[in-house]
Amino acid sequence: MQTFIELKQLTKWFGSPNSGGIKAVDSISFKVETGEVLGFLGPNGAGKSTTMKMVTGFLAPTSGSATVCGHDVQAEPLAVKKRIGYLPEGAPAYMDMTPEAFLEFCAQVRGLKGEAKKQAIKKAVDRTHIGGVLRQPVETLSKGFKRRVGLAQAILHEPDVLIMDEPTDGLDPNQKHEVRLLIREMAKAHAEGKGGRAVVLSTHILEEVEAVCSRVVLIARGRIVADCTPAEFMSKSRYHNAVTLALIPPPGVMIFEELKRIPSVESVEDNGTNKTADGTQVRCTVIARHGKAIAHEVSHLVKAKGWQVDMMRVEAGRLDDVFRELTTSSR
Amino acid sequence: MHGLGPVFRRELAGYFVTPVAYVFIVIFLILTGIFTFELGNFFERNQSDLRAFFDFHPWLYLFLIPAVSMRLWAEERKTGTLELLMTLPVSRAAAVAGKFLAAWAFTGVALVLTFPVWITVNYLGRPDNGAIFFGYIGSLLMAGGFLAIGACISACTKSQVIAFILTVVVCFLFLLAGFSPVTNFLQGWAPPIIVDTIQSFSFLTRFDSIAKGVIDARDMVFFASLIVVCLFINGVVLESKKS
Ligand SMILES: Nc1ncnc2c1ncn2[C@@H]1O[C@H](COP(=O)(O)OP(=O)(O)OP(=O)(O)O)[C@@H](O)[C@H]1O
Ligand SMILES: [Mg+2]
């Protein structure tokens, strides 16, 4: 395992601490290792972008340190910047340039030359599907295409560390899918003699975390409130191991009461009813006490009672629920 | 100086993909023409030199150079590309120097395109072409001084308008420092050492002697060091004021 990024007590103040300044980032420490895709979550203003700006060397931390591939960001900025591919928030690009000229510029700055440069640009263009707009000034591109140009710039040189601030913001569903594939591919790329890489991305789209991330770091008001795998993250949900049912009970049966009688059931949430040809379908979510596995007991009860089940699903947990819980409780 | 070449090329190409370059060059040429031939009495003076041409350069630059320099950093700040540029493997010195050199090369192009004036004077008489050459060098150096001041001010703000106005004001002060009414006014009460110091910062006095064909290394060194100092401050401003 190689450590690609290491943050130690990273702190950033905007303004002075004693006169109304803002502590945007508050003693954040974590490590990112080979092959990890770290999803950086947090409410608006939590300090995600600020942290990324410090890791990429744009902002200097007030205290603490960031190390990328063994190089301290403050002491050896150039060595760090060579290894990072960075998509800043809002994907800025030079408006009066064409994507072609822009990528050419980035490739030159990255020290790519001749055939290698051509290949790198071609690969990045293909991966982000911007081949059709290469000659069109960036300012006339749609928002999604602007972001793709920014992405192309970030992956151009096959960086060891890929840092992306809201990479899928403004992309259509197809492109979101493409970008997620791209991120996964980038993360596991052991090919071409490369020793793999680390990816950090911030996002507000929680399904994305499930889809691509191997780890979640959740921050609120500049502090880390959770650092775990997406599965662990979801297991913190009150919906973890809950069972969602759609069934048609015989008339007069209080199914909620029956379900609540199972010892490890916490409560039953009513999701409404639905008129079908066979009768009135009742939908509900049976919530497990302390996230215990209750699927077996629920199915047992349903079978024993002979209720007609139209649908039964075990929930892994709801990310937005955990997100809300963790970022609003600890005031 | 990692990344100097690409930054320089990108910036220089940037002038020519937008109408900025063409508008600037055309206005520059028209104004030099008007100033030289109409206001400067080029023909009536009946002398084969380019004094009438060079004399107006400081005043022309006063408004045209800030129009070039205002966008250097302010635009990058405004559009967020500063974050991109500063996180690419480009050293700060290279970014500052690359942008400045491209702007300088661009004004150099505009200056070279005034060659018809030089052809005219050679057609009409036998001018001292050595003196004219140094006049051009002096003019280019002075343009560099204006540009470096403008770049430095542009790095301080997001607003191109503010950058433009502040640059005009600061450059105006540098020009005025040697303007005779100001010097006379100062001589009335200030001690000579102060008057001399202020005067030594004057673009007008320095440029005047170069334009006359008087080559004084001190004038060259003045402009060169002004450029270096301004660019150094430019770098410091960038480092300290990033967002
Ligand atoms: N240049 C700045 N000057 C002063 N305060 C700033 C500056 N940049 C950010 N902040 C403050 O720092 C805090 C964190 O901002 P940051 O942009 O890192 O949030 P974020 O987590 O990226 O939010 P979002 O999800 O909205 O992008 C906010 O309170 C913000 O107002
Ligand atoms: Mg942000």
Are A164 and A199 within 8 A, CB to CB? yes
Are A247 and A308 within 8 A, CB to CB? yes
Instruction: Identify the DSSP state of A131.
Output: G
Say what the pLDDT of residue B46 is.
Answer: 66
C-alpha–C-alpha distance, residues A123 and A145, integer Å: 16
For domain A243-315, give the CATH superfamily. Answer: MTH889-like domain (3.30.70.1340)
User: Which of A4-18, A126-140, A189-203 shows the lowest per-residue confidence on average (mean pLDDT)?
Assistant: A189-203
pLDDT in tens, A130-147: 999 999 999 999 988 999
Q: How many CB atoms lie within 10 A of CB B38?
A: 10
On average, the pLDDT of chain A sits at 89
Are B80 and A147 within 8 A, CB to CB? no
ipTM: 0.87
Q: Is A108 on the interface with B (CB under 8 A)?
A: yes
pLDDT in tens, A71-130: 999 999 999 999 999 999 989 999 999 999 999 999 999 999 999 999 999 999 999 999
Going from N- to C-terminal start, the domains of chain A cover 3-235, 243-315
C-alpha B81 to ligand 1 mean position (Å): 17
pLDDT at A331 over 60: no
C-alpha–C-alpha distance, residues A3 and A71, integer Å: 11
**Which two tokens mark A197?**
């890489």
Q: Does A243-315 match A3-235 at the fold level?
A: no
A105: nearest CA in chain B? B6
Among A96, A161, A162, A164, which would you mutate to test the B interface (most chain B Cβ atoms within 10 Å of its Cβ)? A96
| pTM for the model | 0.87
* Interface subset of A 252-271, CB within 8 angstroms of B: none
Q: Report CB contact under 8 Å: B87, A84.
A: yes
* Interface subset of A 138-167, CB within 8 angstroms of B: 153
DSSP B67-134: HHHTHHHHHHHHHTHHHHHHHSS--HHHHHHHHHHHHHHHHHHHHHTTHHHHHHHHHHS---HHHHHH
- Give the residue carrying structure tokens 């009536």: B44
Q: Is B86 on the interface with A (CB under 8 A)?
A: yes
Q: Is A59 on the interface with B (CB under 8 A)?
A: yes
Comparing B188 with A1, which gets the higher pLDDT?
B188
Q: Is the CB of A56 within 6 Å of ligand 1?
A: no
Say what the pLDDT of residue A191 is.
Answer: 44
Q: Report CB contact under 8 Å: B6, A108.
A: yes
Closest C-alpha among A70, A47, A69, A51 to residue A10:
A51
Residues of chain A contacting residue B243, judged by C-beta atoms under 8 Å apart: 53, 59
C-alpha–C-alpha distance, residues B162 and A91, integer Å: 26
Select A3-235's CATH number: 2.60.40.10, 3.40.50.10140, 3.40.50.300, 3.40.50.2300. 3.40.50.300
Confidence of residue A302 (pLDDT cuts 50, 70, 90): confident
Confidence of residue A325 (pLDDT cuts 50, 70, 90): confident
Closest in A58, A94, A97 to B87, CB measured = A58
For chain A, helix (H) and strand (E) counts, in that order, are: 11, 14
Q: Collapsing DSSP states into helix, strand and coil, what is residue B46?
A: coil
C-alpha–C-alpha distance, residues B201 and B173, integer Å: 9
Residues of chain B contacting residue A81, judged by C-beta atoms under 8 Å apart: 87-90
Q: How many residues does chain B have?
A: 243
C-alpha A221 to ligand 1 mean position (Å): 10
Q: Lay out the sheet containing A71-72: strands in order across.
A: A22-33, A3-14, A63-68, A71-72
Going from N- to C-terminal start, the domains of chain B cover 4-242
pLDDT in single tens digits along all 243 residues of chain B:
788 999 999 999 998 888 888 888 999 999 888 888 777 676 666 666 777 788 888 889 999 999 999 999 999 999 999 999 999 999 999 999 999 999 999 999 999 999 988 888 888 888 888 888 888 988 999 999 999 999 999 999 999 999 999 999 999 988 887 777 777 777 777 777 777 777 777 888 788 877 777 777 888 888 899 999 999 999 999 988 765
Say what the pLDDT of residue B231 is.
Answer: 96
